[in-house]
Amino acid sequence: MSNPSRNNPLLQRFIPEARELLQASAGGLLRLEKNPQDGPAINEVFRAVHTLKGSSGLFDATALTRLVHAAEDLLGAVRAQEIVLDSSLVDMLLDSLDQVSLWVDRLEGDAELPADADGVASRMASGLRARVASKDSPETATTADATLPAEAPPIWLHRLPVESLRVGFRRACRGATVLALCYEPDPGCFYAGTDPLQAALQVPEAMAFTIEAVAPWGPVADLDPYHCNLRFHILTDAPRTEVEQAIRYELDQVSFSPVSARDLVQIAGEPSDGPVWDDFYEAASAQYAAGDLAAIRASAATLRSFTGPGLWRNDALSWLEDAASATAPDHDLVRALIDAAGTGRFGGAGNSTVSATASGAPTTLLDGPNGAVARSILAGQRQALGKDGYDEIRLASVAAVVGNLLVGLGLDAQRHAFQQAIVDTHESRSTLPLLIFLDVLESGGTPDTLPPSDPLPSITSATDLPKAADLPKSTAPGPGPGPGPDGAARNAAPEVRAPQKTLKVEQAKVDLLMNLIGELVVSKNSLPFLAKRAEETYGSRDMSREIKEQYAVIDRLAQEMQGAIMQVQMLPVSDIFDRFPRLVRDLARKLGKQIDLSVEGEDTAADKTIIEALGDPLLHIVRNSLDHGIEQPEIREAAGKARTASLRLRARQEADGVVIEVQDDGRGIDPARIRAAAIEKGVIDADEAGRLSDQEAINLIYRPGFSTAHEISDLSGRGVGMDVVLTTVEKLGGRVSVTSRLGEGTTTRLTLPLSMAVTRVMVVEAADGVYGVPMDMIAETVRVPESRIQRIKRAEAFVLRDIVIPLMRMSTLLGVPARQRNSDEEAEEAVLVCQIDGRHVGLVIDDFREGMDVILKPLQGALAGMRGYSGTALLGDGRVLLILDLKELI
């Protein structure tokens, strides 16, 4: 597969998807850490990581795939309740996810992973794998025991040529880890450019390599040569990482099963009997008891040389010889092989019995000559069922296999029950009935005595499955092999999750729509002008009225359209809130503080640009709270507070804006210290400081220069980055306020507009022109008789409801001569009372006009640097309205 490039559409789809999946897994992990029994959470994390692994396999990002794979294995073990998820494990997993996230960023930029990725991946992956390996702690021993059948050797192992098994056996006896690979390529893989044969041949150190058809071949003419119908079985003793590297693109279609030497033993031949075997059995048992493996080997070799080579027991001897000459002999295996040669029966794995002779009637259904094979087939099918949950295709193949097995074993009586179980399975869309059937069959019961139409009563007789009945919430330990609670929980999951119909659209396309609608709004605004002209210039009143009617319709449609497209741009605040649980957790651990974070109103939506820009300011606020606001547990305890501090993130929608609050119950801001620091720093003088109210003192932390001063931030416990907060929020047209009570906590409140797309402005006449003033700056409009304007030296002011409001003349600010007033006009000034930085200022203008919604376009090109204007907007009659930026102007 070639390197993915920047214009690789698959990669472009993968990147946002990967980020979502990473986010989902991190969120799930945090939930799990709080409540390890959270079944849906583990399933969610597992599913996300699994999907990530699958889709990452499409790219040349082996390191990423490998790391995710390791994480998936670990999560799988957690899900199977083999290991307990603790904080350190969560740390490891989160670190891995972070690494993956870095790589995803890298993939987006460079379309390839950094050079050291392989090293990092294998280091982190082996760390994760080490945890999987160490799962057999005493407390989980029972679960581990119970999962043994799930690790049963793959059934196809015995279809491999005996010579290959023998080679594998010898290597396993020498301590090598033998892996059994089953590679079943996707039927459509040829279209993806995959050549499974070549891929399979890449597996290093293959001791056995077999190919088989998945479905029987039909007539050659009917064959679809491009539909892959092959399956590969490979036995190798190469390290797993090497194997994975070799077939890295096919990993999700390959199942790996480590096999032990015992699994590889396959004894064949004619049954035989005689005193010579009994003698050997006695002698070898004695030698075994004495621990003399060399002697065992010698006796085995001797006996083998004079018994018939075609005999089953003779064959057993040859395996015994190999086992006994191993460098690190498996004593149990030697014992089992001695038993095999001595008694004609091989114990095989666990307690299942392989009998070479058909002597003795089977005690259970599966104790016939092919019992062990049948068992392992059943185990494999159960595993498949449990793994995939309810899946029509999988079910069909399982049904076919089990059906054939029943026929093969001559268990005709069970076939009816089996058919019934299949029908039930289809009806209930759950694998449960089939699993119960298999379970009973395997445990040696007589499935045909079950009332097959009603699986529930039989549950009590099935060993592990009752827990599966109270699903999907059940998180009880499921020691069942494979199909445990999670198997059924996964069945339930797809039913709960309604299919999401989401369209991923490029931002630019939405922006274009937005612009077009903006234009539409503007052109729509020209209709009233047209109506006016129709009436005034052409004297047609009717025409004017009709235009106005049409205008009303278009106006309504345009507004709806605008609303709709703004909805598209809306994102829930959870987009930014989601990162905080992780951040707070990490920081709290680092600082040794105990913090309980609660998030409210995540569903509150706001414009995408706002949500995206809010990330940083919120980060600063939360970090400040954690760092300075919240005290150490001991200090809190001494102050009579709970050891665990609470930090609240709240979002809610208010009239035309979104309010986001960060509230902590920490030590609060001390206004006295702020005052002292401000004086010391020379931000204000002592007199001024004395006049400030506590709230005003707290507001000082926003003063630029103040916030960055290190010693002050340490003193106040606040301030680092507060100017970042302020500037960002104000740029978005929002406001910041901080309230704090000493010793009780601090609340920072951000108020933001819902959308930035449309700005409401008031059109004013000033200095022989019309200008727009953003509505949110305007507190009120008043007409002030000239007599009430008082001059204080060169400045002017007037009193509005007992408050002195300084006056400024717009003409002075804009540097144009003031309009000459007609002498007969009443001496009255139009004053726009604006609120700037929390202070009121009166702006003297010539006249007020209407308010309107405009699409604000920032000044561009040569005008870009001009101060005093925040942008332009197009009026309905084609004129350009300059929008004033009062903060810069005053």
Partner 1 sequence: MPLRIARTTVHFEGHCSVEEALDLQAFFGRVKVPKVVLTQCAGLHTALLQVLAAARPASIAPPSDPTLAQAIMPFLSGIGADR
Binding residues vs partner 1 (CB under 8 A): 161, 185, 190, 195-198, 200-201, 209-213, 217-221, 223, 225-226, 228-230
Please report which residue ranges of 460-525 form alpha helices under DSSP H: 466-469, 485-496, 507-524
Nearer to partner 1, 187 or 633 (CB): 187
- CA 410 to CA 406: how far, in whole Å? 6
Residues 6 or more apart whose Cβ sits within 8 Å of residue 60: 1, 2, 3, 4, 112
Q: Are residues 764 and 851 in contact, defined by beta-carbon separation less than 8 angstroms?
A: no
Tokens found for residue 513: 């729509």
What is the closest distance, in whole angstroms, from the C-beta atom of residue 55 to partner 1 in the complex?
A: 23
Residue type, 882: L
Q: Which two tokens stand for residue 831?
A: 């004053």
Smallest distance, Å, CB 161 to partner 1? 7
Cα-based angle 199, 205, 207 (whole degrees, multiple of 5): 95
Nearest distance from residue 224's CB to partner 1, in Å? 9
- Residue 309 CB, nearest distance to partner 1 (Å)? 23
Which 3 state secondary structure label does DSSP give 697? helix
φ, ψ of residue 775 in degrees (nearest 5): -60, -30
Q: Which is nearer to partner 1, 196 or 433 (CB)?
A: 196
Pair of tokens at residue 794:
């060169």
Measured between alpha carbons, how far apart are the two ends of the chain, in Å? 62
Bridge-based pairing of strands 178-183 and 230-236 is antiparallel
Which letter does DSSP use for residue 252 in this model? G
For 236, the 3-state DSSP assignment is strand
Cβ nearer to partner 1, comparing 115 with 213: 213
Sign of the alpha-carbon dihedral angle for 618, 623, 629, 635:
positive
User: Identity (one letter) of the amino acid at 187?
Assistant: P
- Reading the block at residue 508, the tokens are 């630019």
Q: How far is the CB of 263 from partner 1 (least distance, A)?
A: 21
Q: How far apart are CA 853 and CA 759, in angstroms?
A: 6
Rank residues 248 and 593 by Cβ distance to partner 1 and give the closer one: 248
Report, in Å, the least distance between residue 118 CB and partner 1.
27
Rank residues 185 and 774 by Cβ distance to partner 1 and give the closer one: 185
Residue 3 vs 198, nearer CB to partner 1: 198
269: left (phi over 0), alpha (psi -120 to 50) or beta: left
588 phi, psi to nearest 5 deg: -65, -40
Find out whether the peptide bond into 472 is cis, omega within 30 degrees of 0: yes
CB 485 within 8 A of CB 468: yes
Among residues 220 and 508, whose Cβ is nearest to partner 1? Answer: 220
In this structure, what token pair is assigned to residue 727? 């500037």
SS3 category, 667: coil
Q: CB-wise, 404 or 515, nearer to partner 1?
A: 404
Instruction: Write down the least CB distance from residue 157 to partner 1, Å.
Output: 16
Q: For partner 1, which is the closer residue by CB, 211 or 591?
A: 211
Q: Which is nearer to partner 1, 104 or 160 (CB)?
A: 160
Q: Minimum distance from CB of 568 to partner 1 (Å)?
A: 44
Nearest distance in Å: CB 230, partner 1: 6
Q: How far is the CB of 556 from partner 1 (least distance, A)?
A: 59
Residues 695 and 740 sit within 8 Å (Cβ to Cβ)? no
| Residue with Cβ nearer partner 1 (163 or 877) | 163
Nearest alpha carbon to residue 384 among 145, 44, 154, 142: 154
Shortest distance in whole angstroms from residue 2 CB to partner 1: 17
Q: Between residues 195 and 634, which has the closer beta carbon with respect to partner 1?
A: 195
**CA–CA gap between residue 649 and residue 619 (Å, rounded):** 11
Q: Quote the least distance from Cβ 403 to partner 1, whole Å.
A: 21
Q: Report, in Å, the least distance between residue 185 CB and partner 1.
A: 8
Q: How far is CA 569 from the centre of its chain?
A: 22
Classify residue 176 as exposed, middle or buried by CB count within 10 Å of its CB (0-12, 13-18, 19+): middle
Q: 209 phi and psi, to 5 degrees?
A: -145, 105
Distance between CA 578 and CA 597 in Å, rounded?
Answer: 12
Distance CA 102, CA 96 (A): 10
Asked if residues 157 and 131 have their Cβ atoms less than 8 Å apart, the reply is no
In a 3-state reduction of DSSP, which class is residue 760?
strand
Question: At a CB cut-off of 8 Å and minimum separation 6, what does 805 contact?
Answer: 797, 798, 799, 833, 840, 841, 842
- Would you say 180 or 881 has its CB closer to partner 1? 180
Closer residue to partner 1, CB minimum distance, 189 or 738 = 189
Single-letter amino acid, residue 195? D
**Alpha carbon 168 to chain centroid, angstroms:** 40
> Which of 233/382 has CB closer to partner 1?
233
Residue position matching structure tokens 């220069």:
705
Report the distance separating Cα 316 and Cα 284, nearest Å: 13
Closer to partner 1 by Cβ: residue 216 or 865: 216
Compute CA 661 distance to the chain's CA centroid, rounded to the nearest angstrom.
26
Q: Least CB distance from residue 210 to partner 1, whole Å?
A: 7
Please report how close the Cβ of residue 408 comes to partner 1 at its closest, in angstroms: 17
DSSP code, position 296: H
DSSP state of 151: G
Compute the least distance from the CB of residue 238 to partner 1, in Å.
16
Judged by beta carbon, residue 221 or residue 498, the one nearer partner 1 is: 221
Q: How far apart are CA 486 and CA 502, in angstroms?
A: 28
Instruction: For the CB of residue 249, give the shortest distance to partner 1 in the complex, in Å.
Output: 14
**Closest CB to partner 1 among 213 and 508?**
213
Least Å distance between CB 228 and partner 1? 6
